[in-house]
Amino acid sequence: MLPVWLFAAYLFVAYALHERHRIEQEALWTARQISLVVDGELANIKTLLEGLSKSPALADGDLQAFGTEASRLVQGTDQVITLRDLGGRALVSTQSAKGSEPSAEPLTPDEREHLDLAGVLVSNVFAAPGSNAYRIAVTRQVSGSKGQPLLLSMSVPTERIRLVLLPAVPQGWTVGVGDREGNYVARSKLHDQWTGRPGLPEYLAKVVGRSGTFRSRNFEGTTLLAGYYRSPYSDWFYTANVPLSDVQAPLWWSLAQIGATGFTALLVSLALGYVVGTRFTKATVDLAARADALGSGSQVEPMSTSVTEFDTIAQAMIKAGHAIAERTRELETVLETVPAAVWFTYDPEARQVIRNRFAAELMGLPTESRKTFGRPELVIDTLAYKNGQPVSREDRPLSRAMRGEEIQSEEFAYKLPSGEQRYLLSSARPIRSAEGSVVGAVQISLDISERKRGEEQRQLLVKELNHRVKNTLAVVQAIAGQTIRNASSLAQAGAALSSRLISLAKAHDLLTRENWSGADLQTLIAASIEPHAPLARFDLCGEEVWLAANIALSLALALHELTTNAIKYGALSNSTGSISISWKVVEGEMSRILELDWHERGGPPASLGKRGFGTELLQRLFEYETAGGVALNYERSGLHCAFRVSLLPERETSPPETDPAG
């Protein structure tokens, strides 16, 4: 029934939109028709004025004769003819009563422009003082006897406008005419009550542009659907209004009919559904019982039902039971003899698998209560990689075998949910029916994790050895070159080079004991200065800091240079001097900075001498690799050397944990 209800809703919405558009067009058309009728009447008045403007008396300047002629023209009617100059002074009037004439004020610039463009000016509604009668006037410019411009007007009651528009008003509609200031000129209903009064501001604000439609409330609070048209002839606006409830009434009636029809159809469909569903329920219960028997390995009995589809499924279950029993005998024999991980699947997506005990152990599953051959289970969520690239489940051996592929001895790395990683050498074959179609697949895998880890360890060691040898040779080459260039004699060069290489070797020994994972800062300081001077003359103070290998080597060379310099020229050149080494780590949001200070006291005053290799080495050791810096201050108390070294994040500079397995 859902499509029927949706189609009915579509029809109702389409009908509602069509009706709304039709009513809006009717409102717009009605407003335009009313404007044509009223504009026609105003044009008739203009025609009378044009005829009167050709009067010989007006051309000769005989205003009395012209007034007599004008009075004869409107005799017996409620029309009033007035002749004024541009300043608003009345020259001729067929009625002396005030209020029957248009405004005596001069024309505004807008009225003057409209008169020049249209040739005629239709006034706003105006009332006689002390009277409830409202009138409008049509004005035309004429020429006097001397060619001066004059204004010839004819005013009529607004009741005349209402009588003109009434025949064009549809039944049930209300038509209103408003002047340029938004005051009512005429209404088809309650004309006497609303003529001359302003319209609702909310209503008038929506009358924008030449024409259109809108919804608004009237003075009684009724919501209206309105169409409006503004006449270019008079610049009045004409509105045709109909209560929105009258417009929506047919729509609600149509909705009620559609709802009743749909409810009846729903009752009929429920009755039919109950009759048909009873038959399906019995067949479903019988089919479910046979599905349970198939799942438990019991024999599937034939099924008698009038539902052809269910009978087909029952026959398929019987065949599947025979096939499963046959495959079970084959698989039990294989699983008992093959010392490898074995997976079977008859699921096209290879999500349901049967594992042997070795496969369960390999995947980290419990095996205490497992039998040699178990029920199908969901595959566990693992990540697979081949040649370092991720492998989706659809491209793994068992899934590929379900598509008919044969996989021979391919290596895969698997990451288990526990985080453990295993390497498997896998082969897979599809299991085909007698007709040759793929009905299942089998995968056999050997665990080669230990072999792969051994290979990776050997490759890692070779790469690390190559890297360390190259780096060491580069450092030795740089030290040798700089030492020779800065030495004054070969003997001095040999001694300096030997001392620096020994310091480098000490640092290498320290890093080798830690498997090149890094070094403890205090241990490194002691190892760097102990071969040259007794530790009793040094004051070491600082927290425990673990340094990366590259920083440890650089700092070892720097401490060697500072120690040998102190022995030659600084605090260690006498028997009373001492050296203070302090350090701390400054933690930032995105950085860790090691600040280490070398202070010499009790020695000769430090002075800036010739810049030698030692000074250059200190300046360059931390320039690029560690994004740090060194500041040398030559003070009277002794040399002050401040190191600022950028460290790796804390998790990357922690000392290695001891392997519990040794």
pLDDT band at 485 (very low <50, low <70, confident <90, very high): low
The fraction of the chain above a pLDDT of 70, given in percent, is 81
Distances (CA, A) of 423 to 196, 253, 358, 446: 97, 74, 15, 8
Residue 23 to residues 18, 26, 202, Cα–Cα distance (Å)? 9, 5, 21
Domains and CATH numbers, the chain: 2-245 (3.30.450.20), 338-446 (3.30.450.20), 487-652 (3.30.565.10)
Q: What is the DSSP string of 324-358?
A: HHHHHHHHHHHHHH--SEEEEE--TTS-EEEE-HH
pLDDT in tens, 559-596: 888 888 888 888 988 888 999 999 999 988 778 888 99
- For residue 229, the model assigns a pLDDT of 93
pLDDT higher at 503 or 342 = 342
For residue 332, pLDDT over 80 is answered with no
pLDDT digits (tens, 9 = 90+) for 76-104: 888 889 888 888 788 888 875 444 555 56
This model's pTM is above 0.75:
no
Per-residue pLDDT at 659 exceeds 80: no
Query: Can you list the positions of beta strands (E) in 369-489?
Result: 377-378, 383-386, 389-391, 407-415, 421-432, 438-447
Nearest to 175 by CA among 22, 38, 25: 38
Predicted confidence band at 373 (pLDDT cuts at 50, 70, 90)? Answer: low
Q: What is the pLDDT of residue 517?
A: 64
pLDDT recorded at residue 661: 31
Query: Any idea which of 228-232, 258-262, 432-436, 602-606 has the lowest mean pLDDT?
Result: 258-262
Averaged confidence pLDDT in the chain: 79
Residue 255 pLDDT > 70:
yes
User: How large a percentage of the chain has pLDDT more than 90?
Assistant: 10
Residue 24 has pLDDT above 60, yes or no: yes
Q: Which residue has the higher pLDDT, 407 or 296?
A: 407
Q: At 652, phi and psi to the nearest 5?
A: -95, -5
Evaluate if residue 468 carries a pLDDT over 80: no
pLDDT given for residue 588 in this prediction: 81
Q: pLDDT tens, 131-143?
A: 678 888 999 888 8
**Terminal-to-terminal C-alpha distance of the chain:** 73
Q: What share of the chain is helix, strand, coil (3-state, %, to 5)?
A: 45, 25, 30
* pLDDT for residue 650: 52
Report the pLDDT value the prediction gives residue 29, as an integer from 0 to 100. Answer: 92
More confident position, 306 or 238: 238
Confidence of residue 334 (pLDDT cuts 50, 70, 90): low
User: Who wins on pLDDT, 650 or 398?
Assistant: 398
Q: What are phi and psi of 3, to 5 degrees?
A: -60, -35
Kindly indicate the confidence band of residue 552, based on its pLDDT and cuts at 50, 70 and 90.
confident
Written as six digits, the tokens of 283 are 């067949």
Instruction: Compute the residue count for the chain.
Output: 662
